[in-house]
């Protein structure tokens, strides 16, 4: 049975249910940025956003490449969302995280500002040890392999096999798996042969991956 030293947690649609509507609200803000700030026709913006997400992993990097947008302006605009309208404190998630001995790291393509607001609203700020956002990654985003290597370095984890990563998108888990991490997908219906574990909600993590309760391995690199 494998033990782990580092837990990498995605943020949006992973730490909270995808049905809450928050990610949809962010998507609406992204489209508003594209139409209002960049003048992209409304009937083309949605398809262009999907194209950039597929090609670059985030809309932001597509817009940086093709429209030279200021990433800080973009992140401020798209994350200006009334978080409290969508999320509630999650005592079950807090209790699950509190019982873990691994280093608990939020690893997100979003901004520190947005991630901090989500974490505070969920009531898990005392259960997160580190936050690695798109700015800390120098705008290298998942699923680019370099984003995972940077995240491991920032987290102080030298051995990918001592790391478990939780995500809501298969495409963001495959590079992690290639590096040797254990992968957990939060999804009701997605399946992929390279994924190690599946959960419907983040609070199920320790029941599906019981070795998380074993404590971390030694600090020696395998």
DSSP strands (E only) in 61-220: 103-107, 130-132, 163-167, 182-186, 197-199
Write down the pTM of the prediction.
0.93
Distance CA 160, CA 61 (A): 26
Where does a domain end: 78, 99, 124?
A: 78
- The total number of structural domains in the chain stands at 2
In a domain, 221, yes or no: no
Same domain, 105 and 147: yes
Range of the domain at 186: 6-16+88-214
In a domain, 83, yes or no: no
| CA quadruple 189, 192, 193, 197: dihedral, nearest 10 | -60
- One digit per residue, the tens of pLDDT, for the chain of length 222 reads 458 999 999 999 999 999 999 999 999 999 999 999 999 999 999 999 999 999 999 999 999 999 999 999 999 999 999 999 999 999 999 999 999 999 999 999 999 999 999 999 999 999 999 999 999 999 999 999 999 999 999 999 999 999 999 999 999 999 999 999 999 999 988 889 999 999 999 999 999 998 887 766 554 433
Distance CA 173, CA 178 (A): 9
Distance CA 102, CA 98 (A): 10
* Cβ atoms 137, 151 nearer than 8 A: yes
């Amino acid at each position: 049975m494998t033990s782990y030293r580092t837990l990498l947690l995605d943020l949006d649609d992973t730490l909270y249910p995808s049905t809450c509507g928050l990610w949809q609200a962010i998507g609406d803000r992204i489209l508003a940025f594209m139409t209002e700030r960049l003048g992209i026709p409304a009937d083309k913006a949605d398809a262009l956003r999907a194209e950039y997400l597929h090609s670059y992993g985030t809309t932001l990097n597509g817009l940086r490449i093709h429209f030279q947008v200021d990433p800080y302006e973009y992140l401020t605009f798209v994350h200006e969302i009334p978080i409290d309208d969508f999320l509630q404190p999650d005592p079950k998630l807090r209790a699950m995280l509190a019982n873990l001995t691994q280093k608990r790291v939020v690893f997100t393509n979003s901004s520190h500002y947005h991630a901090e607001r989500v974490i505070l609203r969920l009531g898990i700020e005392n259960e997160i040890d580190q936050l690695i956002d798109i700015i800390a990654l120098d705008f290298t985003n998942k699923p680019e392999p370099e984003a995972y290597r940077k995240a491991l370095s920032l987290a102080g984890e030298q051995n990918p096999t001592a790391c478990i990563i939780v995500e809501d998108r298969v495409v963001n888990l495959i590079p992690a798996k290639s590096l040797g991490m254990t992968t957990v997908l939060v999804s009701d219906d997605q399946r992929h042969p390279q994924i190690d574990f599946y959960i419907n909600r983040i609070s199920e993590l320790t029941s599906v991956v019981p070795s998380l309760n074993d404590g971390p391995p030694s600090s020696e690199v395998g």
